[in-house]
Structure 1
């Protein structure tokens, strides 16, 4: 493969890895209010009860 091909390949891999690291870092800093967490838990329990009935 010509040198320019390797450069493009390394650049593409670098962009993918960099964006994944950025996504991981931004996910850690995202805080969900406790009220919303409680609603999520309640909804999950409701769905589990509905699944048990079926």
Structure 2
């Protein structure tokens, strides 16, 4: 394989490994209590809406 092929291969591997490491580092980011409350509230709203739509479809 020509030298440029090895360079591209190493660059691609480095890009994948770097992305995975960044993803690993950001996996356990702390969430403020306010934001968590908003997330839970929104989740409840979506679940209620889905339940209403499901009941509407089952008539």
Structure 2 length normalisation: TM-score? 0.69
- The aligned counterpart of 1:6 is 6
Measured against aligned partners, the alpha-carbon deviations of 1:13-50 in whole angstroms (never above 9, x if no partner) come to 1122112212220332x211112112211111111111
**Residue 43 of structure 1 aligns with which residue?**
42
Give unmatched runs, 5+ long, in structure 1: none
Moved over 2 A (4+): none
Aligned residues: 53
TM-score normalised to structure 1 length: 0.73
Coordinate RMSD, CA, aligned? 1.6
Other structure's SS at 2:31 match: coil
Structure 2: tracts of 5 or more residues without a match:
54-59
